[in-house]
Amino acid sequence: MTDSSLHTLTCPTCGAPLQFDGVSPTIKCPFCKNVMAVPDNLRDENAPPLDSHRAEIEEIRQLARSGRMIDAIRRYRQIFEVGLKEAKDTVETLAAGGVVELPPAKSSTPRQADNADVMAEIKSHILTGNKIMAIKRYREAYDVGLKQAKDVIDQIEANLLGRGVPAGSATPMRPTPVAHISVTSSPQVTVTQQRAVKAAASAVGFSSCFGIGLTVVILLAIAIPVGFALLQPGGPIKPMLIAMQPAILIPSGQDGPPDVITLVHNVTGENRSFVRVSSATGKLLWTSQPLTGDGYADGLVASGSMFYTTNEFDLLAYNSSDGSLAWQTRMTDQLNYNDKALAVAGGRVIALTADQSMQAYDAQTGQPAWSRALRGYDRQVRLVGSQIVIIDYIGDAYDYSLIFINPADGSEQKVISPTCSEEPDGYFDETPDPDDGIIFDEAGQSIYLIYGDSLGCVQHYDLASGEKTWEIQEKDGFDISFYGFHPLLAGDKLYFGSGQKLMVLDMTLDQLKTLLDEDDYDFVPLVAPGDRLIVRARKTRGTEQFELWGLEAATGERQWQYGFENGKPIDPPNEMSGLVDNDEYGWGYQLNAQGFQLIKFQAEPSQVVLEMLNPANGTSLTQVTIPIKFTSSDFYSIPTIIGWQGQTVWLQLETKIIAIDTATGKIILTWQ
């Protein structure tokens, strides 16, 4: 048993002495107020278990102590979003049994200890009359919908100011059912209509025919608006369905535009299910049976006549034609939180679950086909030709290898174990990890690997033999794994960002070149029309700002620049979070035959702005503004682009599915 008497430790931040009781998983410095994680060997074995945050620190400590320093550093960076050097120094201290200061972990939801601070901030906004900011902060902190956030803020405001709760406000955890509308209490019946009814009832001197006719007219005047109200979404006849994620486009089976399959929240029935919406007619084609449990779905992929998703521990298959459940089976855990953790290949549905297990099921019957436990931290299913590629450890080694799997039976087809060392007398081998660059060249039946923090390596492997054919080394290393690898393959050129550099690999000449090297920016290549390369430049010094740069593709010389003063991309990396409001708008893009299409989502007023840029010089060719009239206020949730087909884009915007023909600037579909 560990000695539970007082231990004297030193704060790594200010150097002050720390008194430790042998039990607590953390210590708060009484001088600088920073919080430190306590080494596990100093804690009493009967002490309360660590919370998930401390458990992650212990996982990192154990990885480091077992010699898996690279994995430990990578895991620390994933949790805390810090730089390589800070992560390396901290992990080394953890491995030595030292006390370290913990930075805030990345999360869309605050830890329980932060709730008081969040609520204090929200109450401060309410007391100063800034209710919109209170709603925005609540949504950012707790990841809820606009209506629920408004209802909660209404309740907080009522309690805080001693007022009654506004009519229609919901409890924080349960949406309010939509009230049924009755004829006698309908708000559609005006005072004039009520007086007309009384007048008709007291008009004894009129003839019976005139009285009957007048009665019919009055009843129609009442019935028409009431009937219209009853038929609105949320009424007793037509349920209110709110579009949610996930959503996908699927072929309509005709020559028309694709249909949309999306998860919806049935506010009236308080459940969640899938629906299919016709883009051609705007009609609801079918609604599936409600999902069980919390009703949320993770992952959504379609193949042939079926689509597949997961609900907690269940994997479900549906018939796309009518939404009926084809089969359902139990997985070993929930789906790994990644939009690429579910795929269909070789007649199998492949799922990568949170327990780091890859499982395959027959796509038609749901029968288990094979499973494989992973030792590493791969988080996505990669399809390379007709095979699956897993990045995992082999045997007792702690270096990642590329394992090619037959999706039908799970058998290993090939294993490539890349290494890269500085020549001729290098002492440290670089190996790839799951977040590094892996590019499959289907035409050339080869694979390119781009990896290495200390020593950058670009390698080319022949898939037939599994042998390395050539290698390029970059002495400064690559900085690509933190925000993910976002390459652009354009013909025989491969562009990618590496920290403050924009790199290009000429795959015909086997040459690597730096196109841009800017201290204050990082880069994501977007499209390469003709002899131009359009990149997204993010200003990293001072206030974060985003720009588009049009470059000469061969030389990297900047030809034009387009700035987004308060705009942020809605696509990763560094994607927008929170809300679209007057302080911040979102934008997306698409390259088509007419030019570089920008789509901007703005508020106050709520609108979508379509702007076409000339890729050659960045000038604006056309600009169309589309008012968005169905948002409930002058701010709204960040839209999700479901997909593009030609010049038409499908979006989930607030509670609706819409499709916009960007060529004409017309909304061609609005559902719910």
- The SS3 call for residue 91 is helix
Are 665 and 643 members of one domain? yes
Residue 88 and residue 134 in one domain: no
Nearest CA-CA partner of 585 in 525, 643, 635: 635
Nearest to 175 by CA among 241, 130, 273, 107: 241
In a domain, 543, yes or no: yes
Separation CA 39–CA 564 (nearest Å): 46
119-144: per-residue pLDDT in tens? 767 876 787 777 888 888 787 776 66
pLDDT of residue 632: 66
Per-residue pLDDT tens over the stretch 602-620: 999 999 999 999 999 999 9
Same domain flag for 26 and 119? no
- Work out the pLDDT band at 12, boundaries 50, 70, 90: low
Q: What long-range pairs does 384-390 form, CB within 8 A, spacing at least 24?
A: 384/440, 384/447, 385/440, 385/442, 385/463, 386/345, 386/346, 387/413, 388/343, 388/345, 388/350, 389/438, 390/358
* pLDDT at residue 65 tops 60: yes
Angle between helices 84-95 and 69-80 (to 10 degrees): 120
Q: Rounded CA gap, 33 and 584, in Å?
A: 33
Distance from the Cα of residue 457 to its chain's centroid = 30
Residue 99 vs residue 424, higher pLDDT: 99
Tell how far CA 427 is from the center of its chain. 40
Residue 307 lies in a domain: no
On whether both 604 and 664 belong to a single domain, the answer is yes
pLDDT category of residue 97 using cuts at 50, 70 and 90 = confident
Which among 252, 260, 261 has a CA at the least distance from the CA of 297? 261
Position 257 pLDDT exceeds 90: yes
Among residues 565, 595, 619, which one ends one of the domains?
565
| Secondary structure in 3-state letters for 446-504 | EEEEEECCCCEEEEEEECCCCCEEEEEEECCCCCCCCCCCCCEEECCEEEEEECCEEEE
Omega before residue 236 within 30° of 0, cis: no
Establish whether the linkage from the previous residue to 424 is cis, with ω within 30° of 0. Answer: yes
39 and 83, same domain (yes or no): yes
Please state the pTM of the whole predicted model.
0.70
Say if residue 181's pLDDT is above 50: no
SS3 content of the chain, % helix, strand, coil (to 5): 20, 40, 45
642: its two tokens = 């479901």
Please tell me whether residue 342 adopts helix, strand or coil conformation: strand
Average pLDDT over residues 63-80: 74
Q: Does residue 18 form part of some domain?
A: yes
Question: Three-state SS across 352-376?
Answer: EECCCEEEEEECCCCCEEEEEECCC
Q: What is the pLDDT of residues 420-476, one digit of tens each?
A: 987 655 556 888 988 899 999 887 789 999 999 889 999 999 998 999 999 999 988
Residue 177: pLDDT band by 50, 70, 90 thresholds? very low
The gap from C-alpha 341 to its chain's centroid, in whole angstroms, comes to 13
Whether residues 50 and 78 fall in one domain: yes
Q: Residues 59, 142: one domain?
A: no
SS3 247: strand
In a domain? residue 341: no
Residue 170, pLDDT above cutoff 50 = no
Contact 560, 549 (CB under 8 A): yes
- Cα–chain center distance at 625: 27
pLDDT digits (tens, 9 = 90+) for 334-346: 998 778 999 999 9
Give the dihedral of Cα atoms 549, 552, 554, 557; nearest 10 deg.
-80
**Beta carbons within 10 angstroms of residue 334's beta carbon:** 17
Domain membership of residue 597 (yes or no) is: yes
Range of the domain at 630: 575-672
Predicted local confidence at residue 190, as pLDDT: 43
Q: Assess whether pLDDT exceeds 50 at residue 23.
A: yes
71, 35: one domain: yes
Domain shared by 519 and 557, yes or no = yes
| CA–CA gap between residue 71 and residue 624 (Å, rounded) | 49
Kindly give, in sequence order, each residue whose CB lies less than 8 Å from that of residue 86, ignoring residues fewer than 6 positions away: none
Please give the tally of structural domains in the chain: 4
Asked, for residue 326, whether it belongs to a domain, the answer is no
Annotate 266-284 with b (16+ C-beta within 10 A) or e (fewer).
bbbeeebbbbbbbbeeeee
449 domain-assigned = no
Q: At what angle do helices 115-127 and 146-161 cross, to 10 degrees?
A: 70
Helix 84-95 crosses helix 52-65 at what angle (to 10 degrees)?
80
* Whether residue 94 sits in one domain with residue 13: yes
Query: Which secondary structure element, helix H or strand E, spans residue 171, and what is its range?
Result: none
The predicted structure's pLDDT at residue 129: 74
* pLDDT in the model for residue 388: 95
Q: Pick from 505, 531, 565: which residue ends a domain?
A: 565
- Give me the CATH number covering residue 541: 2.40.10
Q: Are residues 118 and 72 in the same domain?
A: no
As a whole number of Å, the end-to-end CA separation of the chain is 62
Q: Which residues contact 342 (CB under 8 A, 6 or more apart)?
A: 298, 299, 300, 301, 308, 309, 310, 335, 349, 350, 351, 352, 381
Long-range contacts of 423-431 (CB under 8 A, 24+ apart): 423/473, 426/455, 428/454, 428/455, 429/399, 430/454, 430/455, 430/457, 431/70, 431/399, 431/400
535-540: average pLDDT: 96
pLDDT (average), residues 296-307: 95
Q: Which residue has the higher pLDDT, 505 or 26?
A: 505
Give the whole-number percent of the chain exceeding pLDDT 70. 74
Judgement on whether residues 614 and 541 belong to the same structural domain of the protein? no
Q: What is the mean pLDDT of the chain?
A: 81
CA distances for 277 relative to 35, 195, 248, 256, 257, angstroms: 51, 44, 11, 13, 11
- CA distance linking residue 163 with residue 582, whole number of Å: 29
In one letter, which amino acid is 557? E
529 domain residue, yes or no:
yes
Domain end marker among 121, 139, 161: 161
DSSP assigned state of 25: S
Running DSSP on this structure, what letter comes out for residue 578? Answer: S
What does the pLDDT average to over 390-401?
90
Q: State residue 661's pLDDT score.
A: 96
| pLDDT band per the 50, 70, 90 thresholds, residue 250 | very high
Give the pLDDT mean for 567-587: 92
Which three-class secondary structure state does DSSP give residue 177? coil
